[in-house]
Amino acid sequence: MIIIGGATATGKSHVAIALAKAIGGELISCDSAQVYKGMDVGTAKENGDIGVNQHLIDVVEPCESFTVVDFRTLAREKILEIRSRGNVPIIVGGTGLYIDSLLYEMEYGGGSGTDDTALKESLKRELEERGAEYMHAKLNELDPVTAEKVHANNVVRVLRALYVVLHTGKPISAQNAKFNPVEPFKMFVIKRDRQKLHERINTRVVKMVEEGLKGELEALLAKGYGFNLQSMQAIGYKEWQRYFEDGASIEDVIEQIQVNTRQYAKRQDTWFNNRYKGIATYFDIDNQSVDEVVNCMIKEINLL
């Protein structure tokens, strides 16, 4: 399998599409937000016929749960399915934990074999009553290594990390992660100069609003999907709560999405630089065209 990762707005999807066309590949989205139906503009889904098959997009409704375990299960099924057609599976996206699930054997908090719904609900109530800073402080006591990596405002990851340590008795940071890829792979990471990436992010957010992001939020809210849902905590969506509930301006929302996206891109960049050092090939797409990058990728693939 081929893996193409990188921070948001680097252009990795365009590279993946071009590579898929060149080598007979099919894309498997590795994006934790694109799995949700009806969340298209804000997640930068590729619209229309892109000329190659895409998988793991529009998998669940925004009110439904989707975990890294769900991704791993479905992705493995799609890899086999694509292989059966004689094509090459190309994993593309920026959700590092999803990529890890195909490269490492992990427990992901499911070691006990049961799902403690009561514990999940208890943690949610505690968050509502005590706030994000309190929950992050609690995580810092139980799993300081993970707390150091996760911002207090990322309540989804904070709650998941708390659930893991309370449910299994073992923090995420201490869980055994054995390197055991689901099949032989070649991994590429797309990079850009930080300033240029920030400019691309700022421009893309404005374009999303022009293409109907506000209307997309209105349609989701009309269906009863509230900002308390995991799906609606995705960047590009959660920032609209201030607009719809507190009277913030669209300009304020745009600026907050831009800030949050830039911060997220920085965390992704750190992840891809450190986590996959030694197993990935890095491409600076600022100094190469998409065709040049794809040609270099094909040469490396042919060496496998």
pLDDT, position 152? 86
Looking up residue 137, the CATH number of its domain turns out to be 1.10.20.140
Looking up residue 34, the CATH number of its domain turns out to be 3.40.50.300
Do 93 and 128 belong together in one domain?
no
Is 21 a member of any domain?
yes
Do 102 and 121 belong together in one domain?
no
Do 252 and 193 belong together in one domain?
yes
Do 60 and 181 belong together in one domain?
yes
pLDDT, position 83? 96
Do 38 and 169 belong together in one domain?
no
pLDDT, position 175? 66
pLDDT, position 91? 98
CA distances from 303 to 9, 92, 297, 299 (A): 29, 21, 10, 7
Do 97 and 164 belong together in one domain?
no
Do 164 and 185 belong together in one domain?
no
Where is the domain boundary, 174, 189, 219? 174
Q: How many domains does the chain have?
A: 2
Is 60 a member of any domain?
yes
pLDDT, position 110? 46
Do 161 and 280 belong together in one domain?
no
Residue 67 lies in domain: 2-106+177-302
Do 127 and 271 belong together in one domain?
no
pLDDT tens for the chain, 304 residues long, are 999 999 999 999 999 999 999 999 999 999 999 999 999 999 999 988 999 999 999 999 999 988 888 999 999 999 999 999 999 999 999 998 899 999 988 665 544 445 678 899 999 999 998 899 899 989 888 888 788 788 888 898 899 899 988 887 777 766 667 889 999 999 999 999 999 999 999 999 999 999 999 999 999 999 999 998 889 989 999 999 999 999 999 999 999 999 999 999 998 998 899 889 999 999 999 999 999 999 999 999 987 6
Do 71 and 187 belong together in one domain?
yes
Is 112 a member of any domain?
no
Is 111 a member of any domain?
no
Is 190 a member of any domain?
yes
What does DSSP say about strands 178-179 and 104-105: parallel, antiparallel, or unpaired? Answer: antiparallel
Do 38 and 135 belong together in one domain?
no
